[in-house]
Each structure stands twice: as structure tokens, then as C-alpha cells.
Amino acid sequence: MKQKLYAGLSFDQVVQKYAKNVLSSCLMRTGSSPDADDCFQNVFLKLYTVAPSFRDEEHLKAWLLRVAINECKNYLRDNRRHLTLDAVRESPLPSTDDERDISWALMRLEPKYREALYLYYIERYKVAEIASILGYNPNTVKTLLSRGRQKLKKIYGGESK
């Protein structure tokens, strides 16, 4: 039986290569490791069952992140769960001090700002790419990034202009 390829990668290779990105995105959106794990599994289940074709690996990664964001939105809506400060404190954070610091701050933002900032600073997407992934106008993404930065300044105790 011929194995399905996704932008030239096997399913196992895709999971290995993008697991961290998808899980981080799910954790940023849900704020809970168990919920993020559920969404993570659903993302890769959708990849396997839908088996879309991709132009290249960047298209594959963008698709995975878009599906992860939608999966988390649906999961949170269906389960009527809301992120609490206690859940933020209990959620596992990355290991380095810089990553831990930004994750701590991002988790305190509203999801729309958190997603835009995460995709821009952590995943290194450009504004137009973020707009495509999130389904927003590029100017909306610029506004979300600007307002999100201002909110981060307040979280860190800096002055906001």
C-alpha cells in the first residue's frame, strides 16, 4: 500500500516536525494541557483522514496551525470552558527563562491578541501570513499586534503610550 505524502513528508515525519508548533498553538489557545492534548490529537486526526494536498511545507504548517486554532475554538465552545488565572498558573511553560516569561505574559492576554502575537513572534509569520491563517484583514492583524504589544507592556509593568 502506497503511503500518503504531505508536501513530500510521511504522516510520521509531519507529526515529528510540527508537533511542537501545533501543541504550543493549542496550549496558547486553551490554556490547559489536557485540553491542548485533545485538540492536538484532533488536528493530526483531521490531517490523516482529510489528507489534503499541499503546495509546500510552509503551506502544510500554515494549514496545521489554522486547523489547530479552529479546533481549539470549537473545543472551548463545545465544552464551555473558560480560562481562569488558576489554569494559567498550572499550565506547563517552556523551559528557558525567555520563553517562560513570554508564555506567562501571552497567557494573560485575550485569545485574539495572544494568537496574533504568538504567530508573529514565536512562529515568525509575516502579517499577511497571519491574516491568512486567522482569516483576518492584514490591517486587523496590525491592529491586534499593536494593541497586544501595549497590553504586554502593561503586564510587564512598562508604560503604555
| Conformation bin of residue 51: beta by default, left when phi > 0, alpha when psi is -120 to 50 | left
- Span 58-84, average pLDDT: 83
Averaged confidence pLDDT in the chain: 83
**pTM for the whole thing?**
0.68
- Span 17-29, average pLDDT: 92
The number of residues in the chain equals 161
Percent of the residues in the chain that have a pLDDT greater than 70, as a whole number: 81
Q: What fold is seen in the domain 96-161? A: Arc Repressor Mutant, subunit A (1.10.10)
Q: Which of 47-51, 59-63, 93-97, 103-107 has the lowest mean pLDDT?
A: 93-97
- Whether residue 152 has pLDDT greater than 70: yes
| Conformation bin of residue 73: beta by default, left when phi > 0, alpha when psi is -120 to 50 | alpha
Q: Where are the chain's structural domains?
A: 1-92, 96-161
- Which tens digits make up the pLDDT trace of 81-139? 444 444 444 444 444 444 445 677 788 888 889 889 988 888 888 999 999 888 899 99
- Specify the pLDDT at position 104: 73
Provide the CATH number for the domain formed by 1-92 in this structure: 1.10.1740.10
